Structure 1
Amino acid sequence: AVVMIEHVQHLDAQGEPLTSDEGAAFIEIRAAAAPWQHVRPVGEDMVVTELVLPANHCLRPVDLGAIAGCGHTTVLVRRKPRVAIIPTGNELVPAGTTPQPGQVIEYNSLVLAAQVTAWGGEATRRPIVPDDEAAIRQAVLEAAQDHDLVLVNAGSSAGSRDYTARVVVSLGQLLVHGIAVRPGHPVILGTIALPEAEGRPARTVPVIGVPGYPASAALTGEIFVQPLLARWLGQPPPRKPTLQATITRKVLSPMGDEEYLRVAVGRVGDRVVAAPLARGAGVITSLVRADGIVRIPRFSEGLNAGDPVTVELYVQPDAVERTIVAIGSHDLSLDLLAQHLAERSPGFRLSSANAGSLGGLIALRRGECHLAGSHLLDPESGEYNWPYVRRYLPDLPVVLVTLVRREQGLIVAPGNPLEITGLADLARPDVRFVNRQRGAGTRVLLDYHLERLGIAPEQVRGYRREEITHLAVAVAVASGVADCGLGIRAAAQALGLDFVPVAWERYDLVIPRTFYEEARAGGLLAPLLELLHDDRFRQAIAALPGYDPTPMGEEPTEQAG
């Protein structure tokens, strides 16, 4: 048996205890010892010929210890697949460059390279190649010499300057051109045949033509590149964690293609909800904000609100439990709120979906969100939000908490070249207007003032042209698509535009009383509501042009009658 040293007392020749073993004549064992206790038998951990790690095992830190412990300093591993990424296009400029009109910052190769690295490969970002068939062919051929896979970004559609398919045909075999997936329809799959040269055996190098739109490019990486790298690394096909959820609104999808619908996910009450995000192939932020993907089957026409769906998660399932879901009016203060929430309360997230103020109230009625941003002016009473709450949420007790007071006005071009002075000028035939979507509080505010001015919607040139955010309205003006649009001052200043003031308004958070009471007891919304009394957050809001945080955190009461 082995006796632990802390169970031993050293004694001198007279049997007196010592503080160390120096001069000890005897020892006294102060705890019972069983036969063979603390004796490690030979082979307890590893024995000769015993399997320590199987083939295709992904090495972890503890595995390195086991390898060294059994006497090995090296081990045979699979080489990381080498992947070349070639961006193509005359319009592309490198990241860090200020794009001129008609130019686009090239960042797809950055995304694809990061994906390849995360999936166990070694990525090489090649220089931008112009839309020239010979130049693209040379770039692909050079990349194939010392890489296992070549990704050619853009040039995979059917336009006159889309050369990737022709290049693949000239160098090898074109296997697929176009897949039944959205976004990502014009994917190219092919191979390049490399002859024997300089002692290298002849080999075949796969080539993937990746669509140029950012969301399409990233999803193409997930669908085709990740499984291929996993196979080369001897790993099983990757699987994301999944959960069952309820889709929050109707989604139409064209038959014939499997659609990868990006969604924000959160638990509201006793169910998990999935709110669809922007579906454009060029909207990279839809993937940034997405918590997961819902696949709409190829021969389905879409989803109805309330349908059960399976979400393939980009986040861990427990993150869904700490997600605050906000659906309603768009406001810049919500972005700041999300940022400060993440900084102050790590692990908590605010996920916002822009559906307009009325859309937010309807989402609350359906139990699809924790709160809704609203700034709905009642034309008859002049009261904000409460009249609409009474109309749309008659059976749902709620609390209104003011987030900000903000300034609305007409966003116009720099210098206001058309000399627009107010909403009355919208009736002028030379003024092109861009509107907000129906149900948006800004649209309600516009209609209220147009009615007071005696201006019919038909008199406003562009009344039916709609955008869904204040910044989108500002972009329409900045790009010359419209001469003006109603929006907040901060959006105008963000793009260097001028602003004609119209009105100040109150922007409230509409919160079901159940969630509000739970927050007061430390529930999910507690960190968010605490932020409304945080000086640092208030200062950040005050720094936004046209914002007044003075009433933040107040609970406006319902007016009688």
Structure 2
Amino acid sequence: MTSDISYTTEEIAKLLKISKLTVYDLIKKGDLPAYRVGKQMRVDASDLEAYKTRAKSGHPAVQKTEVTEQPPRMESPLLSSSNRSLVITGQDFSLDILAGHIEKRVPGYRPLRSYVGSLDSLISMYKGESDIVSTHLLDGDTGEYNLPYIRKLLVGSSYIVVNLISRTAGLYVQRGNPKQLSGWSDFKQPGLRIANREKGSGARVLLDEQLRLHGIAPQGIGGYEDEETNHMSVAGKVASGEADVGVGIEKAANLVGGIDFIPLIQERYDLVMLRKPENREWIDQVKHILQSEAFQGELRFIQGYDLSKTGRVLFET
């Protein structure tokens, strides 16, 4: 029966042929009722059909006068329909830990995770589709992380930038480093095969900026056009011998095994939040979480994380 069927946000995105961020935006605005099962958000088939019916009639928003005969869902207070969703973008594990603390310590809000890259995260914030975005984008001309991109993409907006972590980025190479790679200039080496990241990810921007600064044409690198969506996949391609090198963070190299890691740069992984009057309360609470011993204690023993700036406000308009 339809009443027994529910969908994940990924399944909803495929069914409606929209992005997952748009699905989160519909949930955030209350147009698409959702609830949490474990760490997943789910939408009942009946609610999806009701939304599609409203959309076809030209009124996709939930009408306040709408009456339903369905019994109310039994949800925890944290998941009640009166709570506002906070969409958190990014792929690092530290964001999942942060979401857990927000769920416990920020009443009236429920965190939703969206696993997209740094550039797409900032674009989603500009479009009003996300609330807390993570970014680690290197500007090769200045050597500065994040702020040059934030200033350009969020022009006209008031925002605050807070450090989440710093972490080491570099090269994944096959065990024993048979190609004898040691730095960015080695991408000139003929016949080199790379496992690359998707456009807009911090690792892809890091690679492209370094290739530009070193005068290396990316089209001459085997596998450059083939894209993976996370650090683990890149490391796995190198470990399996399908690629000679990949760009990523140290933590993934330790988890995958069978490869060596060459550290090249310490990247700053920051959070961006828009300074709107309605956001002021939860922004202050998120800052307190980032600076708390409870949160930092969970991160402290994860190899590859530097917490020396965690919770520090780096910039605010």
Match of 2:264 in 1: 502
Q: Aligned to 2:308, what secondary structure does the other structure show?
A: coil
Structure 2 residue corresponding to 1:335, chosen from 89, 92, 96: 96
Q: Does 1:537 align with 2:295?
A: yes
Go from structure 1 to structure 2 and tell me whether the alpha carbon gap of 1:293 and 1:453 turns closer, same or farther (over 3 Å shift).
farther
Does the CA-based 8 Å contact 1:326-1:352 persist in structure 2?
Answer: yes
**Equivalent-residue separation in structure 1 for 2:87 and 2:268 (angstroms):** 21
**Equivalent-residue separation in structure 1 for 2:239 and 2:16 (angstroms):** 31
**Equivalent-residue separation in structure 2 for 1:441 and 1:526 (angstroms):** 27
**Equivalent-residue separation in structure 1 for 2:275 and 2:207 (angstroms):** 31
Structure 2 residue corresponding to 1:427, chosen from 188, 205, 219: 188
Q: Which has the larger radius of gyration?
A: 1
Does the CA-based 8 Å contact 1:377-1:385 persist in structure 2?
Answer: yes
1:66-104 CA distance string (max 9 Å, x none): xxxxxxxxxxxxxxxxxxxxxxxxxxxxxxxxxxxxxxx
Q: Aligned to 2:139, what secondary structure does the other structure show?
A: coil
Amino acid in structure 2 at the alignment position of 1:504? Q
Go from structure 1 to structure 2 and tell me whether the alpha carbon gap of 1:459 and 1:413 turns closer, same or farther (over 3 Å shift).
same
**Equivalent-residue separation in structure 2 for 1:537 and 1:352 (angstroms):** 18
Once the 2 structures are TM-superposed, how far is the Cα of residue 377 of structure 1 from its aligned partner? 1.8
**Equivalent-residue separation in structure 1 for 2:25 and 2:44 (angstroms):** 10
Match of 2:134 in 1: 373
Q: Does 1:467 align with 2:218?
A: no
Does the CA-based 8 Å contact 2:195-2:246 persist in structure 1?
Answer: yes
Go from structure 1 to structure 2 and tell me whether the alpha carbon gap of 1:371 and 1:342 turns closer, same or farther (over 3 Å shift).
closer
**Equivalent-residue separation in structure 2 for 1:498 and 1:319 (angstroms):** 48
**Equivalent-residue separation in structure 2 for 1:293 and 1:455 (angstroms):** 51
1:259-300 CA distance string (max 9 Å, x none): xx99556765xx2487xxxxxxxxxxx996333267999xx9
Match of 1:555 in 2: 313
Structure with a larger share of its residues in helix:
2
Once the 2 structures are TM-superposed, how far is the Cα of residue 388 of structure 1 from its aligned partner? 1.6
Go from structure 1 to structure 2 and tell me whether the alpha carbon gap of 1:250 and 1:483 turns closer, same or farther (over 3 Å shift).
farther
Go from structure 1 to structure 2 and tell me whether the alpha carbon gap of 1:346 and 1:475 turns closer, same or farther (over 3 Å shift).
farther
- CA RMSD, Structure 1 to Structure 2 (Å): 4.0
Once the 2 structures are TM-superposed, how far is the Cα of residue 349 of structure 1 from its aligned partner? 4.1
Does the CA-based 8 Å contact 1:405-1:548 persist in structure 2?
Answer: yes
Q: Aligned to 2:199, what secondary structure does the other structure show?
A: coil
Q: Does 1:413 align with 2:178?
A: no
Match of 2:88 in 1: 326
Structure 2 residue corresponding to 1:443, chosen from 204, 208, 214: 204
Once the 2 structures are TM-superposed, how far is the Cα of residue 449 of structure 1 from its aligned partner? 1.1
Go from structure 1 to structure 2 and tell me whether the alpha carbon gap of 1:445 and 1:516 turns closer, same or farther (over 3 Å shift).
farther
1:44-75 CA distance string (max 9 Å, x none): xxxxxxxxxxxxxxxxxxxxxxxxxxxxxxxx
Match of 1:62 in 2: none
Structure 2 residue corresponding to 1:289, chosen from 9, 28, 40: 40
Does the CA-based 8 Å contact 1:437-1:466 persist in structure 2?
Answer: yes
Structure 1 residue corresponding to 2:147, chosen from 360, 377, 386: 386
**Equivalent-residue separation in structure 2 for 1:456 and 1:386 (angstroms):** 27
Once the 2 structures are TM-superposed, how far is the Cα of residue 348 of structure 1 from its aligned partner? 5.5
Once the 2 structures are TM-superposed, how far is the Cα of residue 459 of structure 1 from its aligned partner? 1.9
Go from structure 1 to structure 2 and tell me whether the alpha carbon gap of 1:273 and 1:445 turns closer, same or farther (over 3 Å shift).
farther
1:371-391 CA distance string (max 9 Å, x none): 111112222332222222222
Once the 2 structures are TM-superposed, how far is the Cα of residue 432 of structure 1 from its aligned partner? 1.6
**Equivalent-residue separation in structure 2 for 1:248 and 1:509 (angstroms):** 25
**Equivalent-residue separation in structure 1 for 2:120 and 2:74 (angstroms):** 26
Does the CA-based 8 Å contact 2:161-2:316 persist in structure 1?
Answer: no
Match of 2:275 in 1: 513
**Equivalent-residue separation in structure 2 for 1:547 and 1:344 (angstroms):** 23
Structure 2 residue corresponding to 1:489, chosen from 250, 254, 257: 250
Once the 2 structures are TM-superposed, how far is the Cα of residue 250 of structure 1 from its aligned partner? 11
Go from structure 1 to structure 2 and tell me whether the alpha carbon gap of 1:289 and 1:265 turns closer, same or farther (over 3 Å shift).
farther
Q: Aligned to 1:405, what secondary structure does the other structure show?
A: strand
1:98-120 CA distance string (max 9 Å, x none): xxxxxxxxxxxxxxxxxxxxxxx
Match of 1:86 in 2: none
Amino acid in structure 1 at the alignment position of 2:263? P
**Equivalent-residue separation in structure 1 for 2:309 and 2:303 (angstroms):** 16
Does the CA-based 8 Å contact 1:415-1:498 persist in structure 2?
Answer: yes
**Equivalent-residue separation in structure 2 for 1:541 and 1:332 (angstroms):** 9
Any gaps of 5 or more consecutive residues in structure 1?
1-226, 228-236, 254-260, 275-285
Once the 2 structures are TM-superposed, how far is the Cα of residue 401 of structure 1 from its aligned partner? 1.0
**Equivalent-residue separation in structure 1 for 2:222 and 2:104 (angstroms):** 44
**Equivalent-residue separation in structure 2 for 1:346 and 1:368 (angstroms):** 21
1:510-536 CA distance string (max 9 Å, x none): 1000168522xxx3x454332111113
Q: Aligned to 1:532, what secondary structure does the other structure show?
A: helix
Does the CA-based 8 Å contact 1:248-1:368 persist in structure 2?
Answer: no
Go from structure 1 to structure 2 and tell me whether the alpha carbon gap of 1:537 and 1:558 turns closer, same or farther (over 3 Å shift).
closer
The structure showing larger relative contact order (alpha-carbon pairs under 8 Å, at least 6 residues apart) is 2
Q: Aligned to 2:80, what secondary structure does the other structure show?
A: helix
Does the CA-based 8 Å contact 2:25-2:129 persist in structure 1?
Answer: no
Once the 2 structures are TM-superposed, how far is the Cα of residue 308 of structure 1 from its aligned partner? 4.7
Once the 2 structures are TM-superposed, how far is the Cα of residue 409 of structure 1 from its aligned partner? 0.8
Does the CA-based 8 Å contact 1:264-1:290 persist in structure 2?
Answer: no
Does the CA-based 8 Å contact 2:172-2:245 persist in structure 1?
Answer: yes
Give the fraction of aligned pairs with identical amino acids, expressed as a percent. 35
**Equivalent-residue separation in structure 2 for 1:315 and 1:380 (angstroms):** 54
